[in-house]
Structure 1
Amino acid sequence: MASVAEIEAALAAVGDPVRADHERRYLKSTRKHYGTGMPAVHRIAKGVGRLDHATLVDLVEALWQRPAFECCAVAVDLLVHRVKTLGPADLPLIERLIRTSGTWALVDNLAGNAVGPIADAHPETGVVLDRWAGDEDFWVRRSALLAHLVPLRRGGGDFARFARYADAMLDEREFFIRKAIGWVLRDAARTRPELVFDWLLPRAARASGVTMREAVKYLTEDQRAAVLAAHRGS
């Protein structure tokens, strides 16, 4: 297994200072950036090799303590690649990572591709998501929404739970909440447009433009027209 120092050296070796400066400004990041592209991050994470659960957690914790954004990105990748080995007992760790991420570029992968599969496989974790949905930290609330993204995209998942969260957050002004609601509705509509339409139509006047632009993408032409008319109040 590669050490933290070896992983960081590999990330730095393929970094690009120009890209690093751009990413730091784009993400409004306070972290150090090497400017390492995500394909290289994925490759380096994959190269870590097989890990038992305890070693995985220790490595993730150690990488998260490093100042570089890319070290955190590798930590997230390690969890996502090994999500089948994770369970409800790992949610406190993931919650801590979400709270200290400070950017969608880490939060979204954690929520969608780590929390989502855990919650889908273990329905009892719904009580954790319920708590997250009412949290003061909008990244945690966003994570409660995005945890439903992949299961609903695949035609499964708990739409009723997501809908309850979305209804409670629909009037929020936070961009990242508005966008997340729209994304999940969009992906749920890929397989169940009628379900999304029936939920969205009576709430269209409350939904933000950011939410609506995403949510209507996979509705039928007639459904889209009806929802947009309701949104405009016409």
Structure 2
Amino acid sequence: MTSDSRYNVQALAEAVDRDLRARGGSERAQKEKAYLKSELLHYGVSVPDTRAIVRAALRGTGLEHDEVIELARLLWAAPTSSDDSADSTELTDGGSTGNHTPVHERRAAATMVLIQSQDRLGAGDADFIEDLLREAKTWALVDPLAGDLIGPLSERDAAFDPILERWASEEDFWIRRSALLAHLVPLRQGRGDFDRFSRFAEAMLEEKEFFIRKAIGWVLRDTARTRPRPRLRLDPPACSPCLRGDTSRGRQAPLDRTA
């Protein structure tokens, strides 16, 4: 990447940040921060508005692989003193950019940059994406990274197979959830590897973690749209806790198209 290219990516990240701030609202920021139990700063921008900002920013840029990664990295990070947005002005949730705390909507935008540019990504980017998953610590960021990014990438590139196998037994439950949700979109669309999902899910059936149990139920429910009575190899009672109640708490658009 040339210095001019890096400068353009930096300018693009700053433009996205300005647009996010302009769309923000204090009431939404406070409610979302409380709902997500978030330690990040919040601008108070809706998911559809964030997605529209990213689409407009990327339109016609023709970013190459390294530029996509750099843009995502810049947006994921806390605003720096070189950013126009990092001037210590008050944010809509009562915080300030001056303390260099990451911003939720910037991280959501970084996620969308990767999703919308996934044709330039591959297994060589798995470590970078895994770092984001570990830092995210919320379904609102983990789920689109796992479902809308890792899902399609792993379906077309077998090099992800050992990565998902490792993730399925990771100590970090967000990484385990990602291994499950990577199967969601392909299975929902009538493709995918249900045997592998079943194997992963069965190994996690006894877990007490809410986000693991709900991920299993979510994938099974959506798989049922195209696959008659999808079942794990264990008896149905063993999985019944995963299917109990509403699974919507683990979703973020575009996985949940109604969001």
Normalised by the size of structure 2, how large is the TM-score?
Answer: 0.78
Q: Structure 2 residue aligned with 1:21, among 30, 46, 59? A: 30
Unaligned runs of 5+ in 1: 216-234
Report the CA distance between 1:213 and its aligned residue: 4.6
Report the CA distance between 1:212 and its aligned residue: 4.2
Q: Which has the higher contact order (CA 8 A, sep 6+)?
A: 2
Matches within 5 A, 1:94-173: 94-173=129-208
Relative to its length, the structure with more helix (as a share) is 1
Whether the 8 Å CA contact 1:149–1:188 is kept in 2: the answer is yes
Matches within 5 A, 1:151-230: 151-194=186-229, 196-197=230-231, 199=232, 202-213=234-245
How many Å separate the matches in 1 of 2:198 and 2:242? 17
Helix, strand or coil at the partner of 1:205: helix
How many Å separate the matches in 2 of 1:155 and 1:134? 26
Matches within 5 A, 1:40-51: 40-49=49-58, 50-51=62-63
Mark the CA change 1:18 to 1:65 in structure 2 (over 3 Å): closer, same or farther. same
Whether the 8 Å CA contact 2:42–2:103 is kept in 1: the answer is yes
Normalised by the size of structure 1, how large is the TM-score?
Answer: 0.86
Query: Aligned partner of 1:48: which letter?
Result: A
Identity among equivalent positions (%) equals 46
Whether the 8 Å CA contact 2:216–2:242 is kept in 1: the answer is no
- Runs of 4 or more consecutive aligned structure 1 residues displaced over 6 Å after TM superposition: none
Whether the 8 Å CA contact 2:184–2:223 is kept in 1: the answer is yes
Helix, strand or coil at the partner of 2:237: coil
Helix, strand or coil at the partner of 1:193: coil
How many Å separate the matches in 1 of 2:121 and 2:22? 31
Unaligned runs of 5+ in 2: 1-7, 79-101, 248-259
Helix, strand or coil at the partner of 1:34: coil
Query: Aligned partner of 1:26: which letter?
Result: Y
Aligned length: 212
How many Å separate the matches in 1 of 2:38 and 2:246? 26
Aligned residue number for residue 77 of structure 2:
65
Whether the 8 Å CA contact 1:60–1:75 is kept in 2: the answer is yes
